[in-house]
Amino acid sequence: MSRNLVHRIGVVRDERYLEHKPGLTHPESPQRLQAVYRMLDQEFGEDLIPIEPRAATLEELELVHTPDYIERVLKTAEAPFTHLAPDTPLSAKSYQAAWLAVGGCLAGYEALRAGRGDVCFALVRPPGHHARPDGAGGFCLFNNLAVTARYAQARHGARRILIVDWDVHHGNGIQDVFYDEPGVLYFSSHQEGLYPDTGDWTETGRGPGEGYTVNVPVPVSWGDHDAVHLYREIVGSILRRYRPQLILVAAGFDAHIEDPLGRTKMTAVGFGRLAAQIMSRREAIGSPPVLLALEGGYGPRALAESVRQVLLALGEPEGHLDQEDVQTGLGADLVDRAVRIHARFGVWTEGGKTE
């Protein structure tokens, strides 16, 4: 089936990601990616550009993680089953999948820099946005996108990187790594009151990084129109004013209405429209590389359909879905609160209003 996609989309996939087996009843199961990979084969065929992952090097992992923690992850290969955190069990080959998850994101980024695509989706596991420099948690081993951002800074001199996180859980690991600096702006929309109980409105950065962390906790009634309105207003303003040289997306799909861990009301189409919000503004800021990395999403059917909708949106012409925006009361209230909190920093607001 040919989709005639306007943008060239790279996809990182590898059967070795399925070798991370945290247990039969654990929600972060290999079945998640198996469902996504089946969907890719059935729906997209040869329309996507395959990008082969590589193992991250020790030096690359140490851009974020401590040597002691990296060694702890390596040692898990010595046991058939172990835990690095109460909610984060590992099998003997989990370390390999984790190394490849980071390396898959790096390979995707390098492919974009080499002109092999306009956007890339790294369909990897284990996820990463909860991983801290010295510890695992929330099913995450290494912080895939934090390492990618540090790599872009160290290897290619990137000075302005935007990380957008639409997972239903707050990416505390990503926030902690970049909380003190303006070179990475972290935006997260996440359900209030969920694990890891971070990401309050008032967590806005520290020191030189003040104003470069933007958290929007959302209620369980959060749905597609609320999300699209919020992203159009806030992420749109961030893109115009911050003008990132690289856009990274922590693409979790556990805000889906059918997800067993989330409680919000989004649908697969809604996630596609969030991707469209980013792509519709990309050309106006110099067409920076866009790399998405899979985070949460624990219902295999809903996850596969959500990834499908995102890929379709990524391939559409600029602004294709913009005309469908509907302002909602909840969306407007969330935007207003974020503007009030961030107006004094002037990072993405001006005069107390978004552009």
Element (H, E) at 33: helix 30-43
Which distant-in-sequence residues (6+ apart) come within 8 Å of 95 by Cβ? 73, 74, 76, 77, 141
- CB distance 354 to 339 below 8 Å: yes
> Using CA atoms, how far apart are residues 311 and 304, in angstroms rounded to an integer?
11
Report in angstroms the alpha-carbon separations of 115 from 106, 118, 191: 14, 7, 36
For the chain, state the CA radius of gyration: 19
Could you give the C-alpha distances from 51 to 35, 64, 205, 330, in angstroms and in order?
19, 24, 35, 39
Residue type, 68: D
| DSSP tally for the chain: helices H, then strands E | 11, 10
C-alpha to C-alpha distance for 142 and 126, rounded to whole angstroms: 8
CA angle 121-106-60, nearest 5°?
150
CA–CA dist 30, 336 (Å, integer): 40
Residue 330 CA to residue 290 CA, distance in Å, equals 28
Torsion on CA atoms 203, 204, 206, 210, rounded to nearest 10: -170
Tokens linked to 331: 């969306």
Choice among 130, 169, 229, 342 that is catalytic = 130
The verdict on whether 130 is a catalytic residue reads yes
DSSP code of residue 317? P
Annotated catalytic residues are 130
